[in-house]
Amino acid sequence: MDIHYITSNTLNLETIHHILLNNLKIALSDDAKNKICKCRLYLNERMKQEQNPIYGINTGFGSLCNVKIAGNDLQQLQENLVMSHACGTGEEVPSEIVKLMLLLKIQSLSYGHSGVQLETVERLVALYNNNIVPVVYTQGSLGASGDLSPLAHLSLPLIGMGEVYVDDERISGEELLTKFSWEKIKLQSKEGLALLNGTQFMSAYGVHNLLKAYKLSYLADVIGTVSLEGFDGRIEPFNQLIHLVRPHNGQLKTAERIKELLQDSELIHQPKQHVQDPYSFRCMPQVHGATKDTLDFVKKTFLTEINSVTDNPNIFVDENEIISGGNFHGQPLALALDYLAIAVAELGNISERRTYQLVSGLRELPAFLVSNPGLNSGFMIPQYTAASIVSANKQLCTPSSIDSIVSSNGQEDHVSMGANAAVKAKKVMDNVQSVLAIELMNASQALSFRKHKTSPFLDSFVTMFRQDVPVVEEDRVLHNDIKASEAFIENLTIETSELL
């Protein structure tokens, strides 16, 4: 069985995609174990000698940072922290994102700057490998002192509390310990704070959203090109010469991909009656390309984050320093998540406009893409649905990162709201998937009215789609077709080389 070993090497999107796609187990490398143990041993020795308060290690938290805690109360202090901070509400976080939270928390703790016990990290690994998914909620984090509330829920099972899913059964943390014959973790000084401080809620959502965004970006190119063929569009706007004189990377990549998708198409080269296409077709390189460039910026931000130590305080063994700072603050992620949502929403925006053009009775296509319009409404209303979703996305793209609310009695006086940005960015990703699914229905239907053949690649793609969504000959309940089209997109597996 393939195992991914947690090391200090850079964790990248390709590796994460491989781990998720192949459902790999994970394990701590010897190097990671040594770093964790070295840091814990240092902290134990430091605590024996230290008389002064050290934030989060022998003090209260937040605005209670000046309250020193006696040594015999430190375990209770850490347990109290985990229990009292588990205040999540709202919807449950999807299991695939919770597992990413576990993976990224393990990665961050493995660098040996957090002071946790090896036993604690290995229990997190056991949760991941046994597909034990803690119940975590979407609401409750300000994205500033780390994702306190979500990470508290993630950590409760370590001390036999909270709830988890095991084999789709929801059980208590206490039942989990019994089921696996585990003892609860006796949290030592600093450990509760190491578990709760950190940006793994925002980061997990960010990685999940980013991987989906790359897939949607690729499919927007493919589906947009099917629409171009269905609309009897022109190939000139994708000529490399145009894009070399405005050489944005994403623009060049989109134009090149569309040319490749159209290779050996009869339809694109047939004589055209029209001189130009509407912007939603002609400007795909510029619009889709701008999204690609944004994804690269967001990718850089999240790769830095998931390979970082984001709890507080940080312990530097070789330098004999314990330093309280603010690496848990989610501002870089909040800005990136807002930007990601806006960029992907634009893929939906331009997609809906192509759908509108396809149903408008232009270019010798029947009105609403049905052979007997009037008696049949055909594809009239799917465009309404797409328009509704696109409008909702505009509301969801109001930035979370411009907001801040004072918390912890004024100690935490600026927060990122990155957790809110993360959750609503996922809604935008899901919405754009639906908009592209509706465009694919329309584009493939339009293509069925064309006499000339499209390219072998696009023909194969549409033929595969037709196994799930047949041509519409007369009115039927198109809700079912939309859901089938969404499922088709969701279930497509695309090579990492194409995605990233």
Please report, as a single letter, which amino acid is at residue 171: I
Are 404 and 415 in contact by the 8 Å Cβ rule? The answer is yes
The burial class, CB within 10 Å (0-12 / 13-18 / 19+), for 171 is middle
**Closest CA relative to residue 407, chosen from 418, 422, 417, 397:** 417
DSSP structure string for 135-179 = --EEE---SBSBSHHHHHHHHGGGGT-SEEEETTEEEEHHHHHHH
- Dmax over CA atoms of the chain, in Å, equals 87
Catalytic residue annotation: 55
Q: Measured between alpha carbons, how far is 277 from 455 in angstroms, rounded to an integer?
A: 20
The residues with which 89 forms a beta bridge, in sequence order, are 139
**Closest CA relative to residue 129, chosen from 103, 159, 158:** 103
Q: Measured between alpha carbons, how far is 327 from 198 in angstroms, rounded to an integer?
A: 8
- The terminus-to-terminus CA distance of the chain in angstroms comes to 26
The residues with which 25 forms a beta bridge, in sequence order, are 3
Both structure tokens of 154: 């993630």
3-state secondary structure 287-311: HHHHHHHHHHHHHHHHHHHHCCCCC
Peptide bond preceding 313 in cis form (omega within 30 of 0): yes
